Amino acid sequence: MSTRDDRARTVRTGSTARRGAGASAPDASAAGAGDRVVIGTVPPAVRLCGLLLVLAGLAGVLAAVPTYLVVGGEELRQVRGVGGALATLLGPAVHLAVGATLLRLAVPKFGLAYAAVAGALAVGELLIELYRGSSSTARPGVEVLAGERVLTSSVQLGAGWVLGVVALVLTVLAGVVGAAAWGRTVMEDRGPLDPIRSVLAGAAVLLGVVAVLSLALPAADVPEQLRIDPATGMRVVVMQEGPQALLERPGLALLGGLLLAGTLLLCAVLAPSLRPRLAAVGGLLAVAVTVLRAGLAGVRDAASSDELVWTVPGAGLVLAGLGLLGLTAVAWRVRRTAA
């Protein structure tokens, strides 16, 4: 780079320093400096991406307060107790934090990778939400919404649902802007993650498969009941209608479920290969938050309703989410031991 507008910044572990104009990559003096990141051109679209993420986070936080949906005359809210707050606010809180780093232009490819992956995953979630609010009465069935087991005979929109959809739309837009700004953003490091990328990718694929298989079944379900047949006096198993599985729903919900499952697996494969190291951290963080949110929603549903029990797929989602968070932490900590 040769202009003042394209001045590069060198960021070391725990410190930030300015370099002179014309610097766009680490030089020979960085050989023993540990994990050093060089930041060059940062287009204005990076701040726009951060703003969209912050707005998505704020909309997600606000969506937790008012009525979510009115189903069969019963008002539903997303937050009921500590578990409900954690499941509902985890994603918006991370959006706010990552969006703030983009607004400050700090380690931009970390935030751009997070935004691109989160935006891709939000497409499937958006279609599922649109089905819940607009098409679920076309084929009424038992559903678990905001921790309540309900029959979708009639559905009225609440402000919480509208704000939630706005948050998802803003997340998708942030992902589009982040992907567009990726190629024009200069950020490089010395490759401290390269020796373990294949191991991270293998572990992420395994956890992604577990998450996809777990998503195919309800995270909280209605248990079977043992009853005594009055005619024979024998114990019989009575099956009860439970919530619809992700891929059992029609229309937009089925399309959204397929997109979510496919995108989740694809992002789990691609995230560890992103460069520099902090971009891989951002991508893995977005996948981990999405999976963990789905798992915590199952915990919330089982804890808040006497009719529901936590299922093995629900536990699988939580374990997969925690495992992906562990991979994110490993990718983050590699900087400590960089040669």
Closest to 271 (Cα-Cα) out of 230, 212, 313, 332: 332
**pLDDT tier for residue 126 given thresholds of 50, 70 and 90:** very high
Q: What percentage of the chain reaches a pLDDT higher than 90?
A: 45
Alpha-carbon gap, residue 301 to 57, rounded angstroms: 23
Q: pLDDT digit string (tens) for 251-297?
A: 888 899 899 999 999 999 999 999 899 999 999 999 999 999 999 98
The residue that leads in pLDDT, 79 or 88, is 88
Across the range 11-27, mean pLDDT stands at 37
Domain residue ranges of the chain, discontinuous segments joined by +: 39-231+244-337
Q: Which pLDDT does position 235 carry in this prediction? A: 59
Closest to 40 (Cα-Cα) out of 177, 237, 140, 188: 188
Tokens at 60, concatenated: 């997600």
Q: pLDDT digit string (tens) for 45-74?
A: 999 999 999 999 999 999 988 888 888 777
The residue that leads in pLDDT, 331 or 75, is 331
Across the range 10-20, mean pLDDT stands at 40
Lowest model confidence (mean pLDDT) among 20-29, 163-172, 183-192: 20-29
- 69, 118, 141, 227, 281 from 56: Cα distances, Å: 20, 11, 30, 49, 21
Alpha-carbon gap, residue 259 to 127, rounded angstroms: 9
With a cut of 80, say whether residue 122 has pLDDT above it: yes
- Amino acid (one-letter) located at 259: L
